[in-house]
Amino acid sequence: MKHVFAIFRPNCGSQKIFIQPFDRGDRQLTPAKIKAAAAAALFTTAIGLVSVSDSHAAGAGCGGASWYALSSKTASGERMNAARLTAAHRSLKFGTKVQVTNKRNGKSVIVRINDRGPFIRGRVIDLSKAAASQIGMIRSGHASICYRVINS
């Protein structure tokens, strides 16, 4: 059974902290623990010890990225084309333009969201092969990235 509650995680590139849903998997969570975590999150935000990140609310974040090159249809209905600068994200609207920056080398690419995913814990975006090539992550297959929405 999955439980969802709030934890504090630092946003990449800033000292701000945001509250994010977190899946604890099979660990035992009692209602009291969930209630205490939620109360602490609300209290510390309300008195100004931490703030909810504007960039997180606006569609920005950091995490892992991987790349894929299939020939099947994407969740948006279009055919996947590995030569185009596209990406998969779990919740951003189809057609949203996102700038993705490889934290290791600083290279960036602007992609259009046309699919859903990734479905691996810790990863926040799946890039097309062309996009992955532009930020230098083809060889490794994955990279630590930050992203921000350009337009939606």
Q: What is the pLDDT of residues 95-128, one digit of tens each?
A: 999 999 999 999 999 999 999 999 999 999 999 9
Specify whether 83 is located in the same domain as 139: yes
Q: Please enumerate in sequence order all residues whose Cβ is within 8 A of that of 20, keeping only pairs 6 or more positions apart, or say none.
A: 6, 7, 9, 56
Cα–Cα distance between 91 and 12 in angstroms, integer? 19
How many Å apart are CA 129 and CA 109, to the nearest integer? 12
Q: Are residues 73 and 85 in the same domain?
A: yes
Phi, psi of 82 (to 5 degrees): -65, -15
Residue 143 and residue 82 share a domain: yes
For residues 77 and 147, membership in a common domain is answered with yes
**pLDDT above 80 for 68:** yes
Do 143 and 114 lie in a common domain?
yes
pTM: 0.62
Torsion of CA 135, 102, 22, 19, to 10 degrees: -130
Number of domains comprising the chain:
2
CATH number of residue 91's parent domain: 2.40.40.10
Contact between residue 11 and residue 18 where contact means Cβ atoms under 8 Å apart = yes
Q: Yes or no: say if 97 and 79 are a contact pair by the CB < 8 Å rule.
A: no
Residue 29 has what pLDDT?
Answer: 59
Which residue range(s) make up the domain with 102? Answer: 59-151
